[in-house]
Chains A and B, each alone.
Chain A
Amino acid sequence: MPECGESRFLAERAARLREAVDGAGSRYDYLSVLGTDSTGLGFGATPREKRAEDSRWSERGFVFRAQKDGRVVEWATSSLPEGDLAALVAERLDALLASAAGARRYPPISDEKVEAAWRSGFERDPFAEDPERVLATLDAARKAVAAASDEIVFSTARAEFMRVAKLFVSRNRTLSQSFVWGQAYLVAVARRGDVTKSAHESFSGLKGLELLDALAAKAAPVAEEASALLGAGGVEPGEYDVILTPAISGLLAHEAFGHGVEMDMFVKGRALAAEYLGKSVASPIVDMYDGAKGVDECGTYLFDDEGVLSTRTLVIDRGRLVAGLSDLQSALALGAAPTGNGRREAFDHKAYARMTNTYFAPGTSRLEDMVAAVRRGWLLEKMASGMEDPKNWGIQLVVSLAREIRDGKLTGRVAGPVVCSGYVPDVLSAIDMVSSDFALSGSGYCGKGHKEYVKVSAGGPYLKTKMRLG
């Protein structure tokens, strides 16, 4: 399997960055720099156009972080200035420290010696492929979507591949990583009269072009789903037994106790979870994890954007909330060990406590037994969006496609969109069956509020619980 090559750009600047950190480092209690050189390709095929462009996730730049007398400031730049880099960096950081005279003082940032490197592998290199061939693959999949139903008025297939390269240098650390991730989408828009509905299927992973091998098989199901939604009604509002597919399980994990345990929220007093550490918040058959380490998906890395090595955090252990996810500053403020969840949208953005790969652990049930156990309920199948409420533990999941279950059988009736809501501990405590399946999806992204987007994945098994649907 080929390995992702290192960034020549970063390699050529490593010595200069080391010199700057060592040169200016004596002025501060802590000084680090994160260099990023990530390039990506995006492809799209629609009925009347084909498109190719560099990915919006492409970035190259540096962020310097200094700590002095407890205060933490950062300066980010897309290019290293000519001349005495240590002096120029110090000039900018000193100005920021002067403007932050009254700022919060954090305990010293730990800088134990670590040297590590990681490069991911993939089967087929998207950056070496003829773009025409990638577009032809996408166009064939798109045409298969369109051909599957006369009601499809628009179809598109898109793919994106990123080669992420990062270098972190502090007084005692030198870390580097290079990895490739890919994502692809098939979208169908169907119309009947004045009703228009869309459906999509997504694909993702630490993969190269091999990711596209799965598209063709999903073309007809996407078209069928869009057509089915044309006749979909709403759900009569009320509380139901629901079965969550791995995609919706992941959305629940992400929104319910992913955002809820981001520890910068603890520092701000915005997370009710802080008061529940060590207490029961879910059914005893529920285990939930987050980690850039331990699984391979779009939220995987060796070190975070603050130079902390990745970990795998057990968030919920047999129904008990046991740990949160921290960036460096929140860990310092709370006296906790950092979990390697300090992530930036790009080099020029602040690091926050963010999720990586977030999932429920598989159990022992079988899906058919779970369906058979539902007298009146819904299989929540495809996700549209979700939103957290870490302070008040409300939850909103929007499901684009749900399938009715009556007397232990799928009736064929579909609904969408469906707004699913509830009180987080109620929803998690009502989980009474967990399947042995396990799947992660990393085709989406996660925002903090409505900004600071980072790549994450989420998933798990099928879960059976109760939720309020509307």
Chain B
Amino acid sequence: MMNTVERTLAALRALPGADAWKLVELRAERNERYYIGRVPETARAVSKTDCDVSVYVDSGEGESRTRGECAVKIADGASDAEIAAALSRAVSTAAGMRNPWFPLAEPGSAAPVPPPNPFEGVDPAVSLEGLRAALYRHDGEGGASINSLELFLSRTATRVVNSSGVDVSWTAWSGHCEFVVNAGAGRDQVELWTERDFAVPDHEALAALARARLAAARDRLAAVPTPDCEGLPLVLAGELAGEIFAYYKANLSAQAVYERRAAFALGEDTGGPGDGDRLELEALGSMPHAALGAPYDADGFPLGSARCVVDGRVERLVAPLKYARYLGLEPTGSLRLFRLAGGRETAAALRSRDHVEVVDFSDFFVDPTGGDFGGEIRLAYLVRDGRRVAVTGGSVTGTVPANRGRIRLSAETEAKTLGVSPVLCLLPAVTVSKAT
């Protein structure tokens, strides 16, 4: 008996009323381990197949040609009648819409084949134990310890098929860890929460991450309330230094430009007259370390890279097929990762001036539309007059536009969840509120 995806494909190939279609199959096997302290809490396993179908119905001709689209989910194990009903509903819904026409991906050049993943061929239980051991390597150092850990390891086979003849597939591994570290005891005990996605078993990186967080927890334990920091610039480190650029990434999207809500236009200078570093930002489909990477996007379009910002100026937009067509651009596909080049000064030089360096917010927010950012400080370092003091409490608020042309980036870069970006980012125009 054919599986759900094969039966859906057969139904799509004979579907009356549809001018085009696309199917995305995700077949995932996931293993999960949960720990409280060092004791396993529970183990879980998941076998799951998703089948997402888009159906397109065209109207009109020439310049007035339109395309309606409806996306439906076909449940794993759906009956033939359920598949037929879902596809029929998709056709009738798509027929009622008149969006500007756009093409589907065409068969053509294949994306580069990713190198074999080290997780492949290894019993997931063995891989998970290796990851766990790495994360616990420095447990207990200096009196700080891991309170709890959740570990996930997934193998996902993806296939994209469309009515134009595209039929591409690939397999990817992704891991996720979430852990809490404690320092101190009793009511004085403090905690810090951490999560990280990864695509390869980099035990050294995970051990270093856990070690750094244990040290940060010890610093939070010793931290004093954040004092008045008026006039001091904000330095963001680690993942935070990459997250601030979510604003740029969101505004370099062809969809945002098409919808007229983007802050930047092609050719525009993202900087200005300030003395900040000129941005160099490249969008990419995949990077060896990044769990978000893929050789193709959900359209089946092969992903490469696009230099979006060159010497501070917007040269290209991240343009999936639909919005590339709408704006008359060369498509890039849906590139989800980015590489932000380092700036002129080293991290040590940036850290040598008076500043507040936040390493942990309660919840750092960046509004991708307006560029507002901020959060309550859980752990920061106040560097003033040559002294470095751990502080906690208070909050940071600011906007990216107010810092336009004035942002300084460290020369050194590092791998992060969203790609590669500078180790540090310095924003001069912020408000740091003291703790009560």
Can you list, as one digit per residue, whether each of A370-411 has a CB less than 8 Å from chain B (1) or not (0)? 000000000000001111010110111010000000000000
Given A154-B261, A449-B178, do A270 and B147 touch, yes or no (CB 8 Å)?
Answer: yes
Contacts of A51 in B (CB 8 A): 69, 97
Complexed CA–CA distance, A154 and B435 (Å): 38
Interface contact B363-A267, CB-CB below 8 Å: no
Whether a CB of chain B sits under 8 angstroms from the CB of A121 is no
Note all chain A residues with C-beta closer than 8 A to B130. Answer: none
> Bound state CA distance, A300 and B168, in angstroms?
42
Q: Which of A100-108, A205-213, A216-224 contacts B (4 or more CB under 8 A)?
A: A100-108
Q: Is the C-beta of B296 less than 8 angstroms from some C-beta in chain A?
A: no
Binds A, one of B13-21, B313-321, B346-354, B370-378: B370-378
A contact residues around B395 at 8 Å (CB):
237, 396, 419, 421, 468, 470
Q: Which residues of B44-102 have CB atoms within 8 Å of chain A's CB atoms?
A: 44-50, 69-73, 75-78, 82, 92-94, 96-100
Chain B residues whose CB sits within 8 angstroms of the CB of A385 once the complex forms? 363, 365
> A61 near B: Cβ within 8 Å?
yes
- Whether a CB of chain A sits under 8 angstroms from the CB of B117 is no
Q: Which of B70, B182, B260 contacts A47 (CB 8 A)?
A: B260
CA gap between A269 and B189 in the complex, in Å: 10
A417: contacting residue among B69, B258, B376, B397, CB under 8 A: B397
B-chain residues with CB within 8 Å of residue A102 when the two chains form the complex: 39-40
When C-beta atoms are compared, the residue in chain B nearest to A133 turns out to be B96
When chains A and B are docked, how far (Å) is the Cα of A196 from the Cα of B400?
A: 11
A196-B263, A329-B42, A449-B178 known; A53 vs B376 contact (CB < 8 Å): no
Select from chain B the residue with minimum beta-carbon distance to A422: B436
Contacting B369 at CB < 8 Å: which of A198, A348, A398, A422? A198
A103 in contact with B45 (CB, 8 Å): no
Chain B residues with CB under 8 Å of A275's CB are 187
> Given A78-B75, A132-B96 in contact, is the A48-B42 Cβ separation under 8 Å?
no
- A49 at interface by CB-CB < 8 Å: yes
Q: How far is the CA of A421 from the CA of B377 in the complex (A)?
A: 10
**Chain A residue with minimal CB distance to B32?**
A350
Count CB-based A-B contacts (< 8 Å): 227
**Closest A residue, CB atoms, query B124:** A99
- The contact string, 1 if C-beta is below 8 Å from chain B, for chain A 410-451, is 000000011101110000000000000000000000000111
Q: Which of B189, B193, B376, B431 has the most CB of A within 10 A?
A: B376
Is A131 located at the chain interface by the 8 A CB criterion? Answer: yes
CB contacts (< 8 Å) of B93 on chain A: these are 52, 131
| Interface hub of A46, A154, A268 (most chain B Cβ within 10 A) | A268
A194 within 8 A of B: yes
B348 vs chain A, min Cβ distance (A): 30
Contacts of A39 in B (CB 8 A): 73
Q: Is A125 an interface residue (CB 8 A)?
A: no
CA separation between A453 and B97, bound complex, in Å?
31
Residue of B nearest to A391 (CB): B191
A267 to B77, alpha carbons, bound, how many Å?
38
- Indicate if A135 sits at the interface (CB-CB under 8 A): yes
**Is the beta-carbon distance between B376 and A103 smaller than 8 angstroms?**
no
Is residue A149 within 8 Å, beta carbon to beta carbon, of the partner chain? no
A450 and B97 form a contact (CB under 8 A): no
A154 CA / B30 CA spacing, docked (Å):
40
> Cβ of A72 < 8 Å from any Cβ of B?
yes
Asked whether B39 lies within 8 Å of A103 as measured between CB atoms, the reply is yes
Per the bound structure, the CA–CA distance linking A468 and B395 in Å amounts to 9
Residue from A80, A104, A237 within 8 A of B433 (CB atoms):
A237
Interface residue count on the B side (C-beta < 8 Å): 79
Known: A54-B73, A154-B260, A421-B393. A74 touches B370 (CB 8 A): no
Q: Is the CB of B49 within 8 A of A153?
A: no
Nearest residue, chain A, Cβ from B45: A75
Nearest CB on B from A16, distance (A): 12
Kindly state whether residue B336 has any CB partner on chain A within 8 Å.
no
A104 CA to B362 CA in the complex, in Å? 30
A398 surroundings in chain B (CB, below 8 A): 363, 365, 374-375
Q: Counting CB contacts under 8 A, is B332 at the interface?
A: no
Q: Is the CB of B44 within 8 A of A73?
A: yes
Instruction: Determine which residue in A9, A39, A131 has the highest number of CB atoms from chain B within 10 A of its CB, and name it.
Output: A131
Q: Interface 1/0s, chain B 235-258, versus A by CB < 8 A?
A: 000000000000000000000001
Is A174 on the interface with B (CB-CB < 8 A)? no
Is A47 in contact with B259, judged by CB distance below 8 angstroms? Answer: yes
Which among A53, A77, A131, A389 is the interface contact of B46 at CB below 8 angstroms?
A: A77
Distance A422 CA – B370 CA, assembled complex (angstroms): 26
Q: Which residues of A contact B202 (CB under 8 A)?
A: none
Contact residue among A58, A135, A189, A421 (Cβ-Cβ distance under 8 Å from B261):
A189
User: Is B137 in contact with chain A by the CB < 8 A criterion?
Assistant: no
User: Which of A60, A195, A329 interacts with B370 by CB under 8 Å?
Assistant: A195
CA distance A223 to B44 in the complex (A): 47
Given contacts A96-B44, A348-B46, are A54 and B72 in contact (CB under 8 A)?
yes
**Nearest chain B residue, comparing its CB with the CB of A105:** B39
CB pair A417 B193 closer than 8 Å: no
> Which residue of the partner chain, among A48, A78, A329, contacts B100 with CB atoms under 8 Å?
A48
Docked complex Cα distance between A80 and B363 (Å): 40
Smallest Cβ-Cβ distance to B129: which chain A residue: A99
Flag whether B125 is at the interface (Cβ < 8 A): yes
Q: Is B275 at the interface (CB under 8 A from chain A)? A: no
Q: How far is the CB of B391 from chain A (nearest CB, A)?
A: 13
Q: How far, in angstroms, from A92 to B29 measured CA to CA in the complex?
A: 13
Report the minimal beta-carbon distance from A61 to chain B, rounded to whole angstroms. 7
For the complex, give the distance between the alpha carbons of A77 and B375 in Å: 39
B42 x A73 contact (CB < 8 A): yes
CB distance from A180 to the nearest CB of B (A): 17
Q: Which residues of B contact A135 (CB under 8 A)?
A: 96-97
Contacts of B378 in A (CB 8 A): 389, 394
Q: Does any Cβ of A come within 8 Å of B428's Cβ?
A: no
Question: Contacts of A238 on B, CB cut-off 8 Å?
Answer: 433
Q: Assuming the A-B contacts A196-B369, A268-B180, are A74 and B125 also in contact, with contact meaning beta carbons closer than 8 angstroms in the complex?
A: no
**Cross-chain contact of A348 among B30, B147, B436 (Cβ < 8 A):** B30
A73-B43, A450-B195 given; 20 more Cβ-contact pairs under 8 Å: A49-B100, A50-B97, A52-B97, A74-B45, A78-B50, A100-B43, A104-B40, A132-B97, A153-B260, A153-B261, A194-B404, A195-B401, A196-B401, A198-B370, A234-B397, A392-B191, A396-B376, A419-B395, A451-B176, A470-B395
Residues of B within 8 A of A (CB): 4, 30, 32, 34, 36, 39-50, 69-73, 75-78, 82, 92-94, 96-100, 125, 147-148, 176, 178, 180, 182, 187, 189-191, 193, 195, 258-261, 263, 326, 361-363, 365, 367, 369-372, 374-376, 378, 393-397, 401, 404, 431, 433-436
- Ordered by A's residue number, 11 sampled pairs between the chains whose C-beta atoms are within 8 Å are A73-B43, A77-B46, A103-B43, A196-B371, A269-B147, A275-B187, A348-B30, A350-B42, A389-B378, A392-B191, A449-B178
Q: Which residues of A contact B (CB under 8 A)?
A: 9, 37, 39, 46-54, 58, 60-61, 71-80, 92, 95-96, 99-100, 102-104, 130-132, 135, 153-154, 189, 194-198, 234, 237-239, 267-270, 272, 275, 329, 348, 350, 384-387, 389, 391-392, 394-396, 398, 417-419, 421-423, 449-451, 468-470
The 3 nearest A-B residue pairs measured at CB: A470-B433, A387-B363, A79-B77
